[in-house]
Amino acid sequence: MQFTAQQIAAFLGGEVVGDAQVSVSNLAKIEEGTPGTLTFLSNPLYTQYIYTTQASIVLVRRDFQPERPVTPTLIKVDDPYSSLTMLLELVNQATLGNKRGIESPAHISDSAQLPDDAYVGAFAYVGERVVVGSGVKIYPQVYVGDDVTIGDNVILYPGVKIYHGCRIGNNCIIHAGTVIGSDGFGFAPQPDGSYKKIPQIGIVIIEDNVEIGANTTIDRATMGATIIHRGVKLDNLIQLAHNVEVGENTVMAAQVGVAGSSKIGAQCMFGGQVGVAGHRRVGSHVNVGAQTGIPNDVKDNMEIMGYPAVPKIDFARQTIHVKRLPELNNTVKQLQREIEELKKLINNNN
């Protein structure tokens, strides 16, 4: 499908500079642009490529003024990155298509409630008393346990497993292999050294507009609910334990692990491989560097790094000192030698 610069500018509310009738049928990075593709310039570090790219159309900021002639047609918009996101959403919708209906074989329990516009892929299982909202897409090999509720416009990609009783809000996307509502890691030590399983009778609640990456696991609560509030974005391979709560619009990169009953505030950003100990509280608007370990509570509006987690500026100072350790070690050894020599001189004089 092809679109002209004029059509794209009208959709984005942009201004065309150049040939308004030039058309594109694909997207590309600015340094890899070819004729017939659209790209964008958002990061100033890539400005050099606008003079060499072969792309037909480039999205730029409204205040962009080229220093020398450019070949592509420019579309000036308020925010090129956000505008590109809008175009990518259109492409994604066209790629996925508007799947509807129930493929065979699939198991749909008689007591389940599915709207006419739902899609259920082959080998999917939908349990008893499940309630599914409008526009939901359940891809092949998805398991939806008994008494699960799913809101409108939810996408469950292949292999997602949602255990009994869990609740999924509207406009959520859950990627392949993710497990929602598996048992929390609860075991009581016994006098003989063994462990007795503690029944996990709670649920998982995922609110609206949450996206969860592939192969992430979110455990059900021991009692009550593990809660992922609205707007949260989780990367692949994340583990959230029983009774964890994640505040709205918090984002977490891959391999984050949050132990049981910890509470994460709103608008936080977690880098990859962050670990949070159990029963901790992390405030809102907290930025956490990759591989940080959090053994204690964290106040609002902090930037932390390292293990144990410390303010970012303290971590930077520690890193400088660590780099100087070999030099400091040599200095200490030299001082020790000089002290020994001074001791000998003093003893000889006495």
What DSSP line would sit under 126-172, residue for residue? E-TT-EE-TT-EE-TT-EE-TT-EE-TT-EE-TT-EE-TT-EE-TT-
Q: Rounded to an integer, what distance in angstroms lies between the CA atom of residue 243 and that of residue 186?
A: 11
* pLDDT level of residue 249 (50, 70, 90 thresholds): very high
Is 229 assigned a catalytic role?
no
Question: Token pair of 327, please?
Answer: 């030099």
Strands 23-24, 245-246: pairing kind: unpaired
Tens digit of each residue's pLDDT (9 = 90 or more) over 116-150: 999 999 999 999 999 999 999 999 999 999 999 99
Global pTM value? 0.84
The residues that bridge with 74 in the sheet, in sequence order, are: 17, 58
Q: How confident is the model over 282-291, as pLDDT tens digits?
A: 999 999 999 9
Burial class (CB in 10 A: 0-12, 13-18, 19+), 116: exposed
pLDDT at residue 349 greater than cutoff 90: no
C-alpha to C-alpha distance for 319 and 321, rounded to whole angstroms: 5
Residue the block writes with tokens 């994460």: 264
- Distances, alpha carbon 228 to alpha carbons 144, 152, 242, 275, 309, in Å: 18, 17, 12, 17, 24
Q: So what's the pLDDT on residue 89? A: 85
* Amino acid at the residue 310: V
- Predicted local confidence at residue 347, as pLDDT: 86
273: left (phi over 0), alpha (psi -120 to 50) or beta: left
Q: Are strands 15-17 and 310-311 parallel, antiparallel or unpaired?
A: unpaired
Query: Predicted confidence band at 255 (pLDDT cuts at 50, 70, 90)?
Result: very high
As a whole number, mean pLDDT of residues 32-49 equals 96
What confidence tier does 333 reach under pLDDT thresholds 50, 70, 90? very high
Residue 290 pLDDT: 96
Task: Enter the tokens of residue 20.
Answer: 């308004």
HSE, CB side, 13 Å, CA atoms: give it for residue 44.
3
| Residue from 107, 175, 229, 242 carrying the catalytic annotation | 242
- Within a 10 A sphere around the Cβ of 5, how many other Cβ atoms? 24
Confidence of residue 94 (pLDDT cuts 50, 70, 90): confident
Quick: pLDDT tens for 210-242: 999 999 999 999 999 999 999 999 999 999 999
What mean pLDDT, rounded, does the chain reach? 95
Helices marked H in the chain — which ranges? Answer: 5-12, 80-96, 312-323, 325-349
Q: Report whether pLDDT(8) > 80.
A: yes
pLDDT tops 80 at residue 96: no
- Residue pair 111/93 in contact (Cβ under 8 Å)? The answer is no
